[in-house]
Amino acid sequence: MDLVPALEEPLKKVLGPATAKVMAEHLGLHSVGDLLHHYPRRYEERGQLTHLADLPMDEHVTVVAQVADARLHTFASAKAPRGKGQRLEVTITDGSGRLQLVFFGHGVHKPHKELLPGTRAMFAGKVSLFNRRLQLAHPAYELLRGDAEETVETWAGALIPLYPATAKLESWKIGKAIQTVLPSAQEALDPLPESLREGRGLVPLPEALLKIHRPHTKADIADAHARLKWDEAFVLQVALARRRHADAQLPAVPRKPAPDGLLSAFDDRLPFTLTDGQQKVSKEIFDDLATDHPMHRLLQGEVGSGKTLVALRAMLAVVDAGGQAAMLAPTEVLAQQHHRSIVEMMGELAEGGMLGGSEQGTKVTLLTGSMGTAARRQAMLDLVTGEAGIVIGTHALIEDKVQFHDLGLVVVDEQHRFGVEQRDALRGKGKQPPHLLVMTATPIPRTVAMTVFGDLETSVLDQLPAGRSPIASHVVPAADKPHFLTRAWERVREEVENGHQAYVVCPRIGDEEDDPKKARKSAEDEAEKRPPLAVLDIADQLAKGPLSGLRVEVLHGRMHPDDKDAVMRRFAAGETHVLVATTVIEVGVNVPNATAMVIMDADRFGVSQLHQLRGRVGRGSAAGLCLLVSEMPEASPARQRLNAVASTLDGFELSRIDLEQRREGDVLGQAQSGARTSLRVLAVIEDEEIIAEARQEATAVVEADPELTGLPALRTALDALLDEEREQYLEKG
């Protein structure tokens, strides 16, 4: 393939080895093309000054401001005992706020000469607090003279681009490096098909690169953004469309349920009717299962919308058609729970081949890493002979040793903990690729689903089954109003007195402190001056204090699996009143009698995690109550997040709020290694329309020319994207 030499040129050759090394190590930039795609974070206008009041703490910032005054102080110190130490304090202003710069020792001479009152400059450094005032210590700076000695070219543009920078490389140095390579932008290969570009009125790529790095007007920036967003959305959607296209070419065994088989026997014994949503989604799944290429479907459902039931019916349909179904859960606790609840739902149908089992029944087997050798051997035997129609397990199912008789369907629970590679490994277990159903309980906004899970078709379950109760949620401000917390424990007692049970959730287990490395606190903890609350401490305090006399037990991830199981069984049986746990209970725990949940340090959990946790109460006919305890002050972003969770039970709405508050990168990055995390200008929530349109265009392009033979520039862009993915796989492996 004829690659573009100018953009492939290594930065070492163009900028020299020292700068290139810093760019590679700190910014991941290796070639001229990489550098051209390192876009400005924002732009300062030459005539305007930065708003100093909005600077983030502990972050590396670049500001444009004017020197208000400069004072040189001498002081005595250990190094300079005779009062010879020198400290230069410079105050800069944006016209409203002020910021202190400090220089020490020999470093004071140059700034003392150059930073005279009235001088304008760009300053870069890390913002810290000293004596309750914002300051930058030893910032790097670049004077903005605007007179003849500076090249007119550099400063002619009224807009100064400020780049994502690091302490080792200031924004203006990146800017100068980009000026050096900018002429190469003319040779950039345009990945967008010409008809698409012209049809949407987008500027060509070389022009977009010039405009984003050297804009003369705000309209230039807007043109460049509009174009570069399309590039990102389109190339990513083409990669996903090709994956869908390739999957659609694979052969699969169609699986149609037998007319009076296992599925209808199961439906007959259900004590309730399916919701309209469950029926609609089941139909989509059954239609897919009946085709001769593999289903790839994402089943999104609100917490408690009955996804497990829909998945179980799909598994039964496949068993009916002579195949086997495997369900993969992210943790042992969850695998055991799924196994228990599926066996309960199926009753004698889960005892195929056993005494008292049903004619139409099948065997439901559990396979996890911590099972004893004999039990494991039996489970593996059941799989290879086909005795077990349904198997539920953890990653242990993916191991090489595990063989199936005829794997027809794979159900993956809680997608975000499973990478593409694991899905592929399990799919490789079938004689032909099995059908795939992925369930996620964290509702994902439609655009994120299209970006991250773009290789899957999506079904959404958004109504709750009849008989589920609404959950009331309230924020308990423990620091401002301690009596609210006292009242919270009284509420828990009242629920127990009315015959119900409660959860108390904490962010930490509480036995980690012996490891000094783990005890290092993050900056946020330092600010709080206390570590997050721990299960073991809280359980102890509650049992001795506000909940004395009630049966309180603990559950966390480091307990032995048998102990965890025993605790869960006692709680499910109603023998324990209050379960103090970590987020182990986040997904899949089903105890209809539990009506109250108190989440300690709720501000330390993410929005979707809180929504997940809250879904564990109100699963029966009695109303649910969720109390979010926080010591964060009223005005903090953390409290606003909690107020948002308390104000709505709509998971899709919450997932949008969550996304708007975090950076997309987190969302795309944690979702799975196969997703491109380096979205530079595309914002998943704001650019919903672009993503949807790019998906349509990409699908049409791939259907017309799956190998992209007529679009060499698009292939080059794809190779670059997929190289990055491959690198991510290798790093993760």
Number of H helices, E strands in the chain: 27, 21
Strand 407-413 to 501-505 pairing: unpaired
Per DSSP, the three-state class of 689 is helix
Residue 712 has a CB neighbour count (10 Å cut-off) of 14
Nearest residue to 580 via CA among 559, 604, 558, 600 = 600
Say if CB 607 and CB 644 are below 8 A apart: yes
Q: How far apart are CA 599 and CA 325, in angstroms?
A: 36
Residues 6+ away with beta carbon under 8 Å from 461? 277, 278, 281, 299, 300, 301, 302, 305, 306, 307, 310
Say if CB 57 and CB 129 are below 8 A apart: yes
Nearest residue to 567 via CA among 583, 549, 580, 586 = 580
Helices (H), 410-459: 420-427, 446-452
Say if CB 127 and CB 133 are below 8 A apart: no
Q: How far apart are CA 426 and CA 402, in angstroms?
A: 10
Q: DSSP assignment, residue 521?
A: P
Q: How far apart are CA 459 and CA 288, in angstroms?
A: 12
Q: How far apart are CA 337 and CA 587, in angstroms?
A: 10
Say if CB 415 and CB 438 are below 8 A apart: yes
Measured CA to CA in angstroms, residue 278 lies from 65, 275, 444, 447, 463 at distances of 60, 5, 18, 23, 9
Per DSSP, the three-state class of 458 is strand
Per DSSP, the three-state class of 461 is strand
Burial code (b: 16+ CB inside 10 Å, e: under 16) for 475-485 equals bbbbeeeeeeb
The helix or strand, by DSSP H or E, that contains position 727, with its residue range, turns out to be helix 712-732
Residues 6+ away with beta carbon under 8 Å from 402? 367, 380, 383, 396, 429
Say if CB 472 and CB 627 are below 8 A apart: no
Say if CB 89 and CB 62 are below 8 A apart: no
Q: Facing residues of 324 across strands?
A: 407
pLDDT of the residue at 491? 93
Q: How many residues does the chain have?
A: 733
Please give the backbone phi and psi of residue 516, each rounded to the nearest 5 degrees, phi first. -60, -30
pLDDT along the chain (733 residues), means of 10: 62 86 86 87 70 73 86 77 79 85 86 89 82 82 65 51 81 87 87 90 93 90 92 88 85 88 90 89 95 90 81 94 90 84 88 59 88 90 91 84 90 67 73 87 72 78 74 89 90 93 87 48 44 82 91 87 86 92 71 90 86 83 90 83 87 76 48 44 75 89 90 84 53 34
Residue 90 has a CB neighbour count (10 Å cut-off) of 27
Q: How far apart are CA 500 and CA 247, in angstroms?
A: 49
> Between vectors from CA 193 to CA 189 and to CA 195, what angle results, nearest 5°?
135
pLDDT of the residue at 353? 57
Q: How far apart are CA 680 and CA 164, in angstroms?
A: 11
Measured CA to CA in angstroms, residue 152 lies from 48, 149, 156, 215, 665 at distances of 19, 8, 5, 15, 38
Say if CB 364 and CB 353 are below 8 A apart: no
Say if CB 436 and CB 589 are below 8 A apart: no
Helices (H), 405-558: 420-427, 446-452, 482-497, 523-528, 535-544
pLDDT of the residue at 476? 92
Q: DSSP assignment, residue 442?
A: S
Amino acid present at 687: D
DSSP letters for 151-188: -HHHHHSSEEEE---BTTB-HHHHHHHHHHHGGGGGG-
Residue 216 has a CB neighbour count (10 Å cut-off) of 12
Say if CB 393 and CB 429 are below 8 A apart: no
Q: How far apart are CA 244 and CA 246, in angstroms?
A: 5
Question: Which strand ranges, in their side-by-side order, compose the sheet holding 471-477?
Answer: 471-477, 624-630, 594-599, 501-505, 578-581, 552-555
Say if CB 164 and CB 38 are below 8 A apart: yes
> Between vectors from CA 609 to CA 604 and to CA 610, what angle results, nearest 5°?
75
Measured CA to CA in angstroms, residue 229 lies from 236, 361, 437, 455, 692 at distances of 11, 53, 31, 20, 12
Measured CA to CA in angstroms, residue 558 lies from 266, 373, 520, 590 at distances of 37, 21, 20, 21
